[in-house]
Structure 1
Amino acid sequence: MTIHSRFSTTAVLAALAIMVMGTSTSTVVAQTAPANATARPTGSAGLSAPASSGVAAARSGTPTQNLSGKATDKVKAVADRPRDIFNRVPCLPPKGVSQSMGSLPHVAAKLAANKPVVIVAFGSSSTQGYGATSPEFTYPNRLAARLHRKYPAAAITVINRGRGGEDAPEMMKRLRSEVIDAKPDMVIWQVGTNAVLRNLDPASTAKTVEAGVATIQASGADLVLVDPQYAPAVNARGENAGRMVSLLSRVAHHRHVGIFPRFEVMRDWHDRQSLPFDTFVTKDGLHMNDWGYACFAQLLGDDIIQSVDQVQAGVSPPQAATAFRPL
């Protein structure tokens, strides 16, 4: 599959460094949302491969023959930043949150056979990366880096199809062209937050999501839903938020797909781990910051890896994904 887009300075530098040093042959790519997206992450500049992976795939422009020592130093400095983000505040797994990613057979089979894996991150501004200080800190980029660390020989492509301000009705209009047509092995669908903020009926949203889930399943892709974030702007509409979280869990259970309970995970950060909101949420009280995206990606990646390892080991994880807890 050929992906055409602009590259960020970071990605280009990383790609050039690899061409000069010849350190690896595996591929990890994260592609940003279309140029007409309604919101863009701070500092975003197009397509970016996660610097922490040390690998990028570049398909634009004429390659530069020589990389200066100064540019090489910059590449190394950028590569170090993602690894340092948890030094001040560690990313800890939540306790008491019941969850199962379910089975991810397509991704597991591809990784076991050393075949390329395509993952589409589908959603709104949380997926696009609004609030991140640079593309490398969006969750799709951080997730790609996490998966590459676990599967260094695999060609893993993470395509970012986040578009700010949208929810299920708008996403359904581009589901075919931006998700299904990419022929993904896995789709991560973050949905529901904007519906809560707009006071849309959670039951209607859940019905639309279920129709989208059926379409994605029919394509043969593995699927994980991601529910709304636990943040002041969402919590101000607590009743709608609670219903949305519960209904998305029920959709996942009914359709036998995975769910990452972001709402409960972020509530654990705040309530049990006693992290102030400004540790993981930007000043707007809604979007995650660099640390929030990084920890979210780390935990999501760990769950994906666990599910893949279970499939490859012949262990049958639960078919139905659950994330029920009193709200």
Structure 2
Amino acid sequence: MGFGGTSFRTAIIAIPLAALVLLAPAAQVQGRAEPAQALPTDGTQAATTGTAGIDQLQQKSLAGKAIEKVKEVAKSAGDILSRVPCRSPKGDGKSMGSLPHVAAKLVAGKPVLIVAFGSSSTQGFGSTSPEFTYPNRLAAQLRRQYPGVDITVVNRGKGGEDAPEMMKRLQTEVIDVKPDMVIWQVGTNAVLRNLDPAETAKLVEEGVASIQAAGADLVLVDPQYSPAVNAKGENASRMVQLLGKVAELRHAGFFPRFEVMRDWHEKQSIPFDSFVVADGLHMNDWGYACFAQLLGDDIIKSVGQIKLGVAVPPNVQAYRPM
């Protein structure tokens, strides 16, 4: 997920990852050093020079098209949140405060690896392009904030899964890559499949303990507030409550996505179709963008606290914005 070299990444830090892939071939062609060759002494010189000139024009044309595509994608990414402003929920918001490891590395300018672990809303179902998934939006935001740091966000989302399936791949796909931080989105499919919330919470607590034992910071993300989840009202409410309790007991970060999205709909009067796709479950580009923005804001707040030497007591380390 990371960009290429540091200077390249810094120069176009706000450009989404997929756009950089489009730009790479042209940049590589222009920057490649060719070995020196003796010019021919016969009449082939003009033909060779003509061919080289055509190649250069073609390369410039490809580079120009790639740059235009980059600009187009960057503009569409910027336009997402201008359609509807992304506002934090009102209330006594607290910083996550439980991200000392990743915050210390960002302050020191050391490389940071974040794993986004979850199901389809981590994978990005409902987004119109890979750069609009929440992990890619979060990566872009953090890179803008810390342009001198090598920041990588790895997407380990797999649609349809919940805690039982995720626990089977936790070691190999998350812990073994030695992340500095894990963002674990869980619980939605358990609600939709009528799994016992208490059993799900027990598995999640085991997973949280394993992640923390490996030395990574952790943020839990609960189910989304959407028509399909709300139809399972009792199960959804219980799941949200138990996941918050796990975060509190384990002194882990907690992003209450359910309450944040409820605030969008009930307090900010944003209709569901402005942040949820037609299936009534998955977020759209705006939903992912605002989710990533608010999550990124809280990571940045945590870094700010480390810079100021603020020690956050364990009993307030679970994030509560409402």
C-alpha contact (below 8 Å) 2:115/2:155 kept by paired residues = yes
Q: What is the match of residue 308 of structure 1?
A: 303
Q: Which of 197, 204, 209 does residue 202 from structure 1 map onto?
A: 197
Specify which structure has the higher proportion of helix: 2
Q: What is the match of residue 116 of structure 1?
A: 111
Q: What is the match of residue 173 of structure 1?
A: 168
Q: Is residue 2:285 matched to residue 1:290? A: yes
What is the aligned residue count? 290
For 1:132, give the aligned amino acid. S
Unaligned runs of 5+ in 2: 31-58
**Cα separation, partners in 2 of 1:137 and 1:58, compared to 1, 3 Å:** same
Q: Quick one: distance in 1 between partners of 2:78 and 2:278?
A: 24
Q: What is the match of residue 17 of structure 2?
A: 49
Q: Which of 66, 89, 96 does residue 101 from structure 1 map onto?
A: 96
Q: What is the match of residue 253 of structure 1?
A: 248
Shift of 1:109: 1.5
Q: Quick one: distance in 1 between partners of 2:236 and 2:137?
A: 26
C-alpha contact (below 8 Å) 2:119/2:158 kept by paired residues = yes
For 1:274, give the aligned amino acid. S
Provide Cα deviations, 1:274-316, integer angstroms capped at 9, x if missing partner: 0000000000000000000000000000011001110121012
For 1:180, give the aligned amino acid. I
TM-score (norm 1): 0.81
Q: Quick one: distance in 2 between partners of 1:59 and 1:252?
A: 41
C-alpha contact (below 8 Å) 1:28/1:157 kept by paired residues = no
C-alpha contact (below 8 Å) 2:94/2:321 kept by paired residues = no
Q: Quick one: distance in 2 between partners of 1:97 and 1:123?
A: 28
Q: What is the match of residue 223 of structure 1?
A: 218
Shift of 1:80: 1.6
Q: Which of 185, 190, 193 does residue 185 from structure 2 map onto?
A: 190
Q: What is the match of residue 7 of structure 1?
A: none
**Cα separation, partners in 2 of 1:145 and 1:24, compared to 1, 3 Å:** closer
C-alpha contact (below 8 Å) 2:22/2:70 kept by paired residues = no
Over the aligned positions, Cα root-mean-square deviation in angstroms equals 2.9
**Cα separation, partners in 2 of 1:59 and 1:73, compared to 1, 3 Å:** closer
Provide Cα deviations, 1:59-115, integer angstroms capped at 9, x if missing partner: 99x944444312211111111211111112100111137554132111111112211
C-alpha contact (below 8 Å) 2:23/2:67 kept by paired residues = no
Q: What is the match of residue 45 of structure 1?
A: none
**Cα separation, partners in 2 of 1:251 and 1:83, compared to 1, 3 Å:** same
- State the percentage of identical aligned residues: 68
Q: Quick one: distance in 2 between partners of 1:325 and 1:290?
A: 23
Which has the higher mean CA deviation after the structures are superposed, 105-114 or 314-323?
314-323
